[in-house]
Structures are given as structure tokens and as C-alpha cells.
């Protein structure tokens, strides 16, 4: 992947992040308003090591992800988030 496309992926992910503090990140995406997408997202995210809890709000189209910041580095979390947002983009 070129650095240009990596930067574009990072910007796309960042546009969906509404709050990001160690141990907690809130993401908004229109696809999260669909129950099936929200449920699959929760299952996918909960299966990842270091993720403690995922709360999805269908009305807001958001997900609150609680994770262990010792087990998951910020870089790893961003990489996972980019991958997840790409998946969400195919379901919006």
C-alpha cells in the first residue's frame, strides 16, 4: 500500500472517530444504524484480543468500544479501525 492510500485510509477512519482516549473509542458510521451490521460489528470487535466491551447505538449510528490499552497499542487499534471502517463502508 502506498503512503498516499495509507494516509487516505487514516483520514477516512479519523472522520468517523468522535472520541479517542486510552481504553475507550467512540466511532460513528451510517452503517451502524442497521441492526444486522451493528450486531455483526459487535461480534467482530468482541472477538479481537484486548477488546473488553462494545456498545452499539442504532439511533446514533455509533459504537463505543472499551479496550485494554496495555494489550492493544494505539497503532494496532488504528489499524483495526481502518480495516473495520472499510468493511462498514461496504454496508452503508
End-to-end CA distance of the chain: 24
> By residue range, what is the domain housing residue 80?
3-89
* 46: nearest Cα among 61, 59, 33, 65: 65
Would you say residue 42 has pLDDT above 90?
Answer: yes
CATH code, 74: 3.30.1360.40
Name residue, grid cell 494496532.
76
Is the distance from CB of 85 to CB of 16 less than 8 angstroms?
Answer: yes
Q: What is the mean pLDDT of the chain?
A: 92
Task: State the cell numbers at 44.
Answer: 467482530
**Tens of pLDDT, residues 74-87:** 889 989 999 999 99
| Number of folded domains that form the chain | 1
Kindly report the pTM of this predicted structure.
0.88
Alpha-carbon span 21 to 33, nearest angstrom: 24
Amino acid at each position: 500500500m502506498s503512503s498516499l492510500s495509507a494516509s487516505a485510509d487514516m483520514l477516512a477512519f479519523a472522520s468517523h472517530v468522535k472520541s479517542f482516549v486510552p481504553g475507550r473509542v467512540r466511532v460513528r458510521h451510517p452503517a451502524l444504524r442497521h441492526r444486522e451490521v451493528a450486531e455483526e460489528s459487535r461480534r467482530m470487535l468482541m472477538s479481537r484480543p484486548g477488546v473488553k466491551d462494545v456498545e452499539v447505538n442504532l439511533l446514533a449510528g455509533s459504537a463505543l468500544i472499551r479496550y485494554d490499552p496495555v494489550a492493544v497499542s494505539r497503532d494496532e487499534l488504528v489499524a483495526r479501525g481502518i480495516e473495520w471502517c472499510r468493511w462498514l463502508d461496504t454496508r452503508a
